[in-house]
Each structure stands twice: as C-alpha cells, then as structure tokens.
Amino acid sequence: MANLKLKKYTEAEADCSKCLALQPAHVKALWRRGIALKGLHRIEEAQSDFERALTLEPSNQSIIDELAKLPKKHTPPSETIPSKPSVVVPQTSTPSEPAAKLKPASLLEPASLTKPASLTKPASLTKPAPAPVANTQTTQPLPKMKLVCPRSSYEFSRDWKACTKRGDQTLYEYLQCIPPSTFPALFKSSLEPDQFEKILSIVSAFYCREKPAEDIYNVMEGISKLPRLDMLVMFLDKSRQQDLHTIFNKLKETVPREKLLPLASKFSVKL
C-alpha cells in the first residue's frame, strides 16, 4: 500500500503479484494490482484484475468505482452511405371515374352492441391461499467443543472453522490452547489472511481486556516470527490496522520502549 501511495507502481505490482502467486483469490491484492497497472497505463490488464476481484466480491464498492474510472475504449464511427433520393411519381385521377360519394352516418351498418355488464358471467372467485404454518422448531445451539491444541496447520484450520461458527468467545478460548512459541512451526506459511486478521481482532478485543501485557507480548512475538508476516500486514484493512494500534498502545503501558520497538516495527506500527 505504501508503494501505491508513493506512486511506485512497478514495485506495487511486483508485491501484489507475489501475494497472488501464493493466494490467487486474494481480493485486496487483485484490487491493488489493478490500481498499479492502471498507473502503468496497462489498462486491459488492470480491467482484468478488477473484473476478477469483482467476481469474488460482487458488492465491493471500491472495485466497482475503480472499474468505472477506467478509460472507455473508443470505437470508430461507422461510415454511413447516403441513400439515393427516391423519385415520387405523382398520381393523377382519371376523369372517367367519379368520386365516391360518402354515405351518411345514419345509413352505415350499426356497430356491434356489447352485452350489458349484468348479462356477462361473473368473474370466478379464487380461494384465498392458506396462511403459512409457523415453524415451531427452534434452532438448536451448537454443542460445546472440546478445545485441544492442534498438532498441524490442517488441524488448526479445521478447528478454527468450527470455532468461528460458535463465535469470538470460543475463538478466544481456542487461541489460549496454543502456546505462542509454537506459532512458527504450526503455521509456517499456511496462515490465511482472514485467520491472521481474526487473530488480531481477538487479541485486541479479548487479550487486551483480560490478559496481562506479558501474555499479549508473547502472542505478538510468536506471530512476528511467521515467514510471510510482511505480506499479511501489507494487506490489512483500516479496522485491523486499528486493532494493531490498540494492542501496542496496551503494551506501551508496561513494556519498556526499547523492548517494544523491534516488535512494533515488524508490524509496521510506529510508537
């Protein structure tokens, strides 16, 4: 995003292409690469990225706006062949044919009389549709999960999906089952952007409220050792960037500045 703001479109396109090589369906990467390509005057490629992103998120207004900003292709006007003027031959009436005399209105055939409304068949009455029967069945709450520390990224993704259906409180409880020191070995390069963003949201909303600064620091330090952290951070939206600021503002209260600065720089947070 910084490269786009600085109008370094070549570098921005390269960064987005790296991200898309790993995650071809990353909507933000497609949108930002489209902006970079537009800046490089590669309009057709930009349009392709925007249209591909729009198929993934049809209601994304930012993508719709960027598509509308693209210059329209101008088609040369078709040459019109002037038509030959038609020759009109005037018709002359022959004197041998006398003009037809108009019949008075009283001698014309009478118009067909319509039957009065009282003699027509009454419209068939349709029976009212039966009222829908109210569904008396109530949605059963999901059973409580047995939360266990995952041993692989596959187990984490499976459990994470199940916890997501049960809400943020369950995600918070599940995240506490995983020692932060195991994050690099567990996730490696497989942590998805939506999972990363949700973890930041959970740390901001729950850890900052209920955990001591040491626990928060350990979680953020574990995340900071992930191989693709710079790519994950680069595509954060404003709400997740705000989560990062909330987390580091909380840490500033008790963690020494010289200890916190290196960690904050990995998340592109300025203290």
E strand spans, the chain: none
Give a yes or no: residue 76 inside a domain: no
Q: Which residues of the chain have pLDDT under 70?
A: 1-2, 73-141
What's the pLDDT tens digit per position in 52-111?
888 888 888 888 988 888 987 654 554 554 555 554 444 544 444 444 444 444 434 444
Match 């044919």 to its residue by tokens. Answer: 97
CB of 12 closer than 8 Å to CB of 3:
yes
CB of 27 closer than 8 Å to CB of 18:
no
69, 88, 108: which is the final residue of a domain?
Answer: 69
Give a yes or no: residue 134 inside a domain: no
What pLDDT shows up at residue 16? 84
The total of structural domains in the chain comes to 2
Give a yes or no: residue 130 inside a domain: no
Tell me: do 56 and 160 sit in the same domain.
no
42, 69, 96: which is the final residue of a domain?
Answer: 69
**Residue range of the domain that includes 175:** 153-266
DSSP, res 259: H
For residue 18, give both structure tokens. Answer: 């790296």
Which residue in 167, 169, 147 sits closest to 159, CA to CA? 147
What pLDDT shows up at residue 74? 53
Please report which helix (H) or strand (E) contains residue 52, including its range. helix 43-56
What pLDDT shows up at residue 189? 84
CATH at residue 48: 1.25.40.10
State the Cα–Cα distance between residues 98 and 113, nearest whole angstrom: 35
